[in-house]
Structure 1
Amino acid sequence: MQDIFRVRFDWGPVGADAVAPGAAYVAVVDVLSFTTTLTVAVGQGISVLPYRWRDDSAVAVARRHGAMLAVLRSQAGPGQVTLSPESILRTDLEAAKIDRLVLPSPNGSAISVRLADAGCTVVGVCLRNAAAAAAWVWERAGDKPIAVVAAGERWPDGSLRPAVEDLWGAGAFLTRLAELDGTEGFSPEALAALAAYRGVADRIELELPESASGRELRANGFAGDVTVAGDIGASPVVPVLRDGWFVPGEPSLATESI
C-alpha cells in the first residue's frame, strides 16, 4: 500500500511484489551475505547470475553458461567460491579463470530473480556500496519511484525472519538518497529504515557482529565475512541485473558528461 510514495521500503519476496510495481529501480539488500558477495564479485570483474536454489538445476545452468557454481561454505575446496565474500577476496581469480559465477541464495538471489522476471531493473545493495548505489539510482530515476527491499532470512518453518543487517543496509541506501534529494516522498516504512541506520551508523562495526546473522556466521568460523560486510563505503561498484546477469552499472552521468 505504498504506491502513493516515490520512495518505498518493504521486506522479503511478498514485500518486493508490493513495492516494486512502477518503480524505476529496485534495490535489493541482503547484507549477510548475497549482496555483499555480489558486490565484491562484480568489483573483481565477475558477472554474477543469481539463482533461486542450490540443486541439480543450478549445476546444469552453470555448465551451460561456462560459469563457476558457488558451493556451500562448508564444502569449499581450494580455488572454489562460496556465498562468502571473503572467499572471493582470497581466491586468485585469474589463476582459477573465474569470470562468471552462478550464485544461489534463497533470499537476496531469489528476490532478484523474482523482480527481474516481473520486468524490474534490480540493483544489488549492501553496506559496502550503499552510498554509491543510491547516487547511481538517484541520477537515473528522476521523478520515478524507487523501491528498496530488505531480503531478510528464514525461520525453520520457512517464514520470513526480518534481519536487522538488511534493515541497516536499506537505511544506508535511503540515507544517501535523502542527502541528495531530501525525504519528501519517502513512505513511513522508508523513513523507519533510514532512522534505524542512522541510529547505528557510527558503530556498525560493533553492532553487525552482534546481530543474529552475525553471531551465526562467527560461530561457524566466518567472522571474516561479517568484517567484509561491515566495511561501509568500501566499494563504488553498482551491480545491475541485465539480461539475467549482474554486471557493473554504467559510469555516473556526471562522469559521462565530462
Structure 2
Amino acid sequence: MFEQSPYEVRVEWGRRGARDAASRGDIVIIVDVLSFSSTVISALRYGSIIYPFPPNLDGRGYANKVGANYILGRAEATKIGNPTLSPGTFNHGHSNKKYVLSSLNGAFCTWVASKVPALLIGSLINASSVASVANQLRIKTKANITVIPCGEQWSDARENEDALRPSIEDYLGAGAILSYLNGKKSPEVEVCIGAFKHSKQKLNELVWECGSGRELRERGFAEDVKYCSHLNVDQTVPILNKDHFVTVSEK
C-alpha cells in the first residue's frame, strides 16, 4: 500500500487514518476543532476528568461503570445547565468530576487509536503546546508522529459512499500543529502546513464561514466557533491515560 511510511511526521484523515497510525505504533494527535478537541482541552484546563467513548456504544452504561456523568447533546445539556460538547460550558465547578464524552469524530478516532505510545489532543487553541509535547515524546520513544484531522460525517451517505467529510477547520488545525513539529515531513504534511500558513491571518474568518462553522452558528453556538478559531490561546495538553485524559504534567 502506498503510504507516508518513509517520513517521521505524517497526516492521515479520520478513523481509517487513526487505525493505520495505531497499527504502526505512532504517537497520535487527534484534531477535532469543532468541537471535541477544543472541549477536552477546556475541560482539562478546569480540572475535569474526561473519558472518550464512541457514540455507537452504550455511553450511559459506560458512564455508570466508571462513576462518571454522561455528557448530553448540546441542546439538551444547555437547557439544564450541564457541561456539553462546547468548550465554554466547563468551569471551575466541574473540577475533579468525571464525564464521558462521545462524538462521531474526535471521540471515535481516539477510541480507534487508543493503543499507541502516546495519544494527544490538539486543536488550533493549543497547537504550539501540543506540538512541543509531541516533539519531546518522539525523542523519548523514538516513535513517529501522525496527526489525525478527524473531519465530519455526511448524514445522508448512501450505500457504497464514504461517510467522511473532510473539514477545513480540522485541516487548518492539523496544519498549525504540523508547522511546529520536528522531523522529516511527508509531502502530505508539507501541503497541510502550506494551507495553514496561507490562511493564518484569517483563521477566524475561515472557521466562521466554513460549513462546520455555519452549522454550529445556525444551531445557536456561535461562541463555540469564535473560541475554537483562536490560535495558541491555551497551553493545556491532554494525553490519554488508559481510558481517560489527563494533562501532560499530571501523567
Tell me the TM-score normalized by structure 1. Answer: 0.88
Map residues 94-243 of structure 1 onto 2, 5 A cutoff: 99-116=97-114, 118-142=115-139, 143-156=142-155, 157=157, 159-177=163-181, 181=182, 185-243=184-242
CA distance in structure 2 between the aligned counterparts of 1:28 and 1:10, rounded to whole angstroms: 10
Moved over 3 A (4+): 19-24
Helix, strand or coil at the partner of 1:101: strand
Q: Is the 2:8–2:184 Cα contact (8 Å) retained in structure 1? A: yes
> What is the identity percentage for the equivalent residue pairs of Structure 1 and Structure 2?
31
Q: Identify unmatched segments of 5+ residues in structure 2.
A: none
Query: Does 1:45 find its partner at 2:72?
Result: no
CA distance in structure 1 between the aligned counterparts of 2:40 and 2:73, rounded to whole angstroms: 15
User: Match for 1:62: what amino acid?
Assistant: A
Partner in structure 2 of residue 73 of structure 1 = 74
Partner in structure 1 of residue 87 of structure 2 = 85
Deviation at 1:22? 3.4
Deviation at 1:54? 6.5
Deviation at 1:68? 1.5
CA distance in structure 2 between the aligned counterparts of 1:249 and 1:119, rounded to whole angstroms: 16
User: Match for 2:202: what amino acid?
Assistant: R
Deviations 1:226-253 (Å, cap 9, x if unpaired)?
A: 111112111111100011101101279x
User: Aligned pair count?
Assistant: 241
Q: Is the 1:8–1:19 Cα contact (8 Å) retained in structure 2? A: no
Deviations 1:22-64 (Å, cap 9, x if unpaired)?
A: 3441001000000000100011101110010166x21111122
CA distance in structure 1 between the aligned counterparts of 2:81 and 2:55, rounded to whole angstroms: 22
Helix, strand or coil at the partner of 1:26: strand
Helix, strand or coil at the partner of 1:129: helix
- Shift of the 194–134 alpha-carbon distance from structure 1 to 2, 3 Å rule, reads same
Tell me the TM-score normalized by structure 2. Answer: 0.90
Q: Is the 1:2–1:19 Cα contact (8 Å) retained in structure 2? A: no
Deviation at 1:120? 4.5
CA distance in structure 1 between the aligned counterparts of 2:185 and 2:250, rounded to whole angstroms: 26
Query: Does 1:64 find its partner at 2:65?
Result: yes
Q: Identify unmatched segments of 5+ residues in structure 1.
A: 253-258
Q: Is the 2:21–2:113 Cα contact (8 Å) retained in structure 1? A: no
Deviation at 1:15? 1.8
CA distance in structure 2 between the aligned counterparts of 1:151 and 1:120, rounded to whole angstroms: 19
Q: Is the 2:53–2:100 Cα contact (8 Å) retained in structure 1? A: yes
CA distance in structure 2 between the aligned counterparts of 1:217 and 1:141, rounded to whole angstroms: 35
Deviation at 1:144? 2.9
User: Match for 2:5: what amino acid?
Assistant: D
Q: Is the 1:16–1:149 Cα contact (8 Å) retained in structure 2? A: yes
Q: Which of 18, 33, 36 is the matching residue for 1:34?
A: 36
CA distance in structure 1 between the aligned counterparts of 2:198 and 2:250, rounded to whole angstroms: 31
